[in-house]
């Protein structure tokens, strides 16, 4: 998968509050409207592509290209709050409304009614809190999607899950060195 980025910037010393989820969403929407930046992202027909961006207030930000039929799989953001906005195409987000425990489990049976799904067309976005579990998909059979994502604090880890029906299983924990 092509990997094109700009360097990361750590948060300022002593700063612990950082940008809110709403501020991250404002950044994602403004950045998604930057047609020159969006056009600079190389698109690969086989896999996702990305560029690391300078996010507001020490946040971590990414511009991501999604070939038709690709997705993230179920995951969380290791306790970071975040936001994302579609810059081109349409993305589908499937999420859970239940807050999951962060430690001490490998398999959970989800209650009825915890599933949510939303479609985010160009210019639309959403913010989320630190315990958000979701997957993002480009369900289009023939059109690339592009989106902007921002997280604060910068992602300390990502937990990856598999799901069969109502059963969610923790599969792995990724650290930043694995995707940066």
State the pLDDT confidence band at 10, using cuts at 50, 70 and 90. very low
**What 3-state DSSP class applies to 35?**
helix
Percent with pLDDT over 90 in the chain: 83
pLDDT digits (tens, 9 = 90+) for 100-141: 887 888 999 999 999 999 999 999 999 999 999 999 999 999
Which token pair is 13? 């010393």
Note the pLDDT of residue 5.
34
State the pLDDT confidence band at 81, using cuts at 50, 70 and 90. very high
**For the domain bounded by 21-72+79-96+117-156, which CATH number is listed?**
2.60.120.10
Note the pLDDT of residue 16.
59
State the pLDDT confidence band at 78, using cuts at 50, 70 and 90. very high
Question: What does the H/E/C string look like for 123-150?
Answer: CCEEEECCCCCEEEECCCCCCCEEEEEE
Alpha-carbon distances, residue 87 vs 5, 19, 166 (angstroms): 18, 21, 32
* CB-facing half-sphere around the CA of 152: CA atoms within 13 A: 24
Stated pTM of the model? 0.87
Quote the CA–CA distance of 28 and 131 in Å, as a whole number: 19
Tell me: pLDDT of 7 over 60: no
Note the pLDDT of residue 149.
98
Quote the CA–CA distance of 49 and 62 in Å, as a whole number: 10
Residues making up the chain, counted from first to last: 180
Q: What is the mean pLDDT of residues 155-169?
A: 95
State the pLDDT confidence band at 23, using cuts at 50, 70 and 90. very high
* Contact (CB, 8 A) for 148 and 120: no
Quote the CA–CA distance of 101 and 161 in Å, as a whole number: 13
Quote the CA–CA distance of 137 and 160 in Å, as a whole number: 15
Using CA atoms in the order 124, 97, 154, 143, what is the torsion angle rounded to 10 degrees?
-40
Domain ranges (residues) in the chain: 21-72+79-96+117-156
């Amino acid at each position: 998968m092509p990997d094109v980025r700009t360097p990361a910037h750590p948060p300022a010393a002593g700063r612990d509050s950082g940008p809110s989820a709403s501020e991250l969403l404002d950044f994602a929407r403004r950045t998604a409207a930057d047609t020159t930046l969006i056009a600079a992202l190389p698109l690969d027909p086989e896999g996702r592509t990305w560029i690391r961006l300078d996010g507001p207030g020490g946040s971590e930000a990414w511009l991501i290209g999604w070939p038709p039929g690709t997705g993230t799989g179920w995951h969380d953001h290791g306790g970071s709050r975040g936001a994302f906005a579609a810059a081109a195409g349409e993305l589908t987000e499937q999420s859970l409304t239940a807050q999951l425990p962060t430690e001490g489990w490998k398999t959970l049976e989800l209650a009825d009614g915890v599933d949510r799904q939303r479609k985010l067309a160009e210019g639309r976005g959403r913010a989320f809190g630190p315990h958000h579990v979701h997957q993002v998909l480009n369900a289009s059979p023939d059109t690339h999607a592009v989106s902007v994502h921002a997280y604060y604090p910068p992602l300390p880890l990502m937990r990856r899950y598999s799901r069969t029906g109502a059963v969610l299983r923790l599969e792995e924990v990724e650290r930043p060195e694995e995707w940066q």
